[in-house]
Homo-oligomer: A and B are copies of this chain.
Amino acid sequence: GWGLEKSLQPGSDTSSLARFLDGEFCEAKSEIRREISRCALFQSNSYDLTLDQNRDLTAERLSHVLGLPLIKKQLKDQEGQRGFLTKSLGIAELVCAADMATGVKLGVVCGLYGGAINNLGSGEQKTKWYLPVSELEFTGMFAMTERGHGSNVRGILTEARYEPSMQEFVIHTPCEDAQKMYIGNAMKGQYAAVFAQLSVNGEAQGPHCFVVPVRDPHGVLHPGVTVIDMNLLCLLHCVAERKPPQFGNVSADGLYSSPIQSKSSRFNAMLAALTPTRLGLTVQAMAAMKLGLIIAVRYSHSRRQFGPKDQDEVKIIEHQTQYLRLMPHLAAVLALTFTTRYAAGLIDAALYRGEDLQSSRFLQALVAGLKAYSTWENVACLQECRECTGGMGFMMENRIPALKCDSDVFVTFEGDNVVMLQVVVRELMTQYAKQLLSSPVSGLIRTWTSSASDSLRTSFLGITVDKVGDLRFLLKALSYRERVLQRSLVARLHSKVKKNKDEFFGAWNSCLHHVTGLALAHIHRVTLEQFALAIEECQVKDDHALLSKFCLLHGTSLVYQERAWYLEHKYLTPATSRKIRTQLLDLCKSVKDEALKVVSDFNIPACCIQAPIAGVSNPRAEWAFYSQPEAPAVQKTLSKL
């Protein structure tokens, strides 16, 4: 019933496409799949447990995962391990697919708490505060957000004062707005990475990270710590002490020293250290999207409704609206798979070379943008999956409601998406300003403004309707839009701040809609590029052809979404714009049957899919069972729209 067989013999029936989608470390992923498939804790949907039962089960699952030999080794050997992040994200995605709460907790303990210690701490601090996590001695939590400051981390109010007489730091919550909130694992963890404003001898040194003991090994809270259960997440109100990790050290007699002089640079360095963890959010969103799409695509190929008079009803995937709603999301999740791999590879390479992530503006922008794009895509994708599966998709038994609920938080968590988009643009602008400074013509900015639309245009008059179906055309269009939006934003800000002497915050705020548009344009372009580049590596002809169709669909869908902008800028003519729509409908129709193969090649164990409507039986919901659909016979006829 639970489909263990397939997952227990990976390799034997794994298709070439599944191996290609797995990428590097496919062996490690197969091992995790086997472990999840054989572990009793992951064999059933936990939708009908109480909150407390659910928390206990999650703790048990987390403990099981942390105890797996592969994962223990991964946590211990991370220093200097080639491809550490790529491998970690591959594992994390599968744990999220098995259970989102466990995956998120793993992210909190290893990514956020662990990342804070590993990236900000000294070697000694890592040994003391992080290695025991891999030995299951204790778990950690991450306390950055406060009641009054979530997005604006620089404004946090929690205080850390050094007491030379006791050689201790006193962490203090001075007011209600300084209460730490939304702390995953707060009802179970022993130590917290707490962010607070450091003051030494009365001098403010800006936000630093401190390891604070929250409860003893028996789960008893330390004196001075108050934890209020927020039901889904928790609130921490703490007064405690511990040595701060690096980017700032205080000698026993109370002298502060830091390798980085400027407070602002120290702050940025601290945030940059969290970049690898932020990429984890994209992986969590991808796990949720893949599950939603497996369920929706399979059910759409099983369930029938309406049809020609006096004939059998047709499968609902045949309805034009149905494939139009689902296929672009499937293309997007493939694009995200390759783009995430690319970003993780860049970070791994930088860390391996011992480079400072802060200096890579492009990488900061990419990861922030991917976080926002992927988590919004996830919300939209799961909503379509839920609607496309009708009443069945609203039933807890079919998993989609829990996936929606668990992953909805991602859009505002670990950096609100609107703030993330501003990070993208801030990084792009800084990079741009650097280019300008190194350019002989520093007044270029005004010149570009006026000529941007001409100098960038790739002779639109020459675009025939045929070219619209060419991937290069789509790539150029996305790139054009990004550059025009960037230059026009620079020009607008320049005009507001330099000419009108507007205050910067007000000027920036009055351009926020433009800013968010630019950030998304940037990330859209990168995802299409990375999708296209990844396909070049695909050696199997059929897989190559299949991925190419999805890549063209992704590009078409991105240009279609922004066709108004292209029409406004006369980059598309009314005729080419209509052609884009027809192409979108055509492509969605042409991949709807192959979608069954793609979702199968996500290679997610049946025990993770859980939904009876996707062919995974559940004795508690026999009424929802539909057998897994067979792949339809290949249709060679050209689609008629």
Residues B510 and A641 in contact, CB atoms below 8 Å apart: yes
Known contacts A235-B623, A416-B390, A577-B564; A155 and B509 CB within 8 A of each other:
no
Known contacts A394-B409, A397-B231; A305 and B150 CB within 8 A of each other:
yes
Residues A418 and B383 in contact, CB atoms below 8 Å apart: no
- In Å, the complex CA distance between A173 and B230 comes to 46
Which of A314, A390, A569 gathers the greatest number of chain B CB atoms within 10 Å? A390
Is residue A549 contacting chain B, with contact meaning CB distance below 8 A?
A: no
Is residue A408 contacting chain B, with contact meaning CB distance below 8 A?
A: yes
Is residue A570 contacting chain B, with contact meaning CB distance below 8 A?
A: yes
A151 nearest CB neighbor, chain B only: B305
- In Å, the complex CA distance between A574 and B409 comes to 38
Is residue A544 contacting chain B, with contact meaning CB distance below 8 A?
A: no
Residues of B within 8 A of A577 (CB): 564, 567-568
- In Å, the complex CA distance between A314 and B405 comes to 30
Residues A640 and B510 in contact, CB atoms below 8 Å apart: yes
Residues A306 and B585 in contact, CB atoms below 8 Å apart: no
Residues A412 and B397 in contact, CB atoms below 8 Å apart: no
Partner of A623, one of B181, B391, B394: B181
Min CB gap A503→B, angstroms: 5
Residues of B within 8 A of A574 (CB): 567-570
Is residue A48 contacting chain B, with contact meaning CB distance below 8 A?
A: yes
Is residue A73 contacting chain B, with contact meaning CB distance below 8 A?
A: no
- In Å, the complex CA distance between A304 and B386 comes to 35
Residues A228 and B504 in contact, CB atoms below 8 Å apart: no
Partner of A567, one of B397, B416, B567: B567
Is residue A131 contacting chain B, with contact meaning CB distance below 8 A?
A: no
Partner of A324, one of B228, B383, B513, B564: B513
- In Å, the complex CA distance between A396 and B305 comes to 37
Query: How many residues in A have their beta carbons less than 8 Å from beta carbons of B?
Result: 78
- In Å, the complex CA distance between A318 and B309 comes to 56
Residues of B within 8 A of A416 (CB): 387, 390
- In Å, the complex CA distance between A231 and B397 comes to 9
Residues B578 and A395 in contact, CB atoms below 8 Å apart: no
Known contacts A387-B411, A570-B574; A585 and B233 CB within 8 A of each other:
no
- In Å, the complex CA distance between A387 and B410 comes to 10
Partner of A391, one of B181, B417, B509, B640: B181
Residues B510 and A320 in contact, CB atoms below 8 Å apart: yes
Is residue A179 contacting chain B, with contact meaning CB distance below 8 A?
A: yes
Residues B570 and A509 in contact, CB atoms below 8 Å apart: no
A51 nearest CB neighbor, chain B only: B48
* Per-position 1/0 for A160-204, Cβ under 8 A of B: 000000000000000000010110000000000000000000000
Residues of B within 8 A of A148 (CB): 304
Residues B319 and A509 in contact, CB atoms below 8 Å apart: yes
Is residue A149 contacting chain B, with contact meaning CB distance below 8 A?
A: yes
Partner of A505, one of B149, B309, B513: B309
Min CB gap A93→B, angstroms: 22
Min CB gap A73→B, angstroms: 35
A563 nearest CB neighbor, chain B only: B564
Is residue A86 contacting chain B, with contact meaning CB distance below 8 A?
A: no
Partner of A309, one of B48, B228, B504, B578: B504
- In Å, the complex CA distance between A151 and B506 comes to 51
Known contacts A391-B145, A577-B568; A230 and B506 CB within 8 A of each other:
no
Known contacts A152-B305, A418-B321, A513-B585; A390 and B405 CB within 8 A of each other:
no
Residues A308 and B232 in contact, CB atoms below 8 Å apart: no
- In Å, the complex CA distance between A387 and B510 comes to 20
Partner of A149, one of B305, B513, B621, B641: B305
Is residue A242 contacting chain B, with contact meaning CB distance below 8 A?
A: no
Residues A306 and B152 in contact, CB atoms below 8 Å apart: yes
Residues A623 and B324 in contact, CB atoms below 8 Å apart: no
Which residues from 408 to 440 on chain A have a C-beta closer than 8 Å to any C-beta of chain B? Answer: 408-409, 411-413, 416-418
Residues of B within 8 A of A383 (CB): 379
- In Å, the complex CA distance between A50 and B232 comes to 15
Is residue A147 contacting chain B, with contact meaning CB distance below 8 A?
A: yes
- In Å, the complex CA distance between A306 and B152 comes to 6
Is residue A10 contacting chain B, with contact meaning CB distance below 8 A?
A: no
Partner of A394, one of B228, B395, B408, B569: B408
Is residue A629 contacting chain B, with contact meaning CB distance below 8 A?
A: no
Residues of B within 8 A of A149 (CB): 305
Partner of A512, one of B320, B567, B623: B320
Interface residues of chain A, those whose CB is within 8 Å of chain B, are 47-48, 50, 145, 147-152, 155, 179, 181-182, 228, 230-233, 235, 304-309, 313-314, 318-321, 324, 379, 383, 386-387, 390-391, 393-397, 401, 405, 408-409, 411-413, 416-418, 503-506, 509-513, 516, 563-564, 567-570, 574, 577-578, 585, 621, 623, 640-641
New contact pairs (4) apart from A150-B305, A401-B405, CB-CB < 8 Å = A228-B623, A230-B623, A318-B509, A320-B512
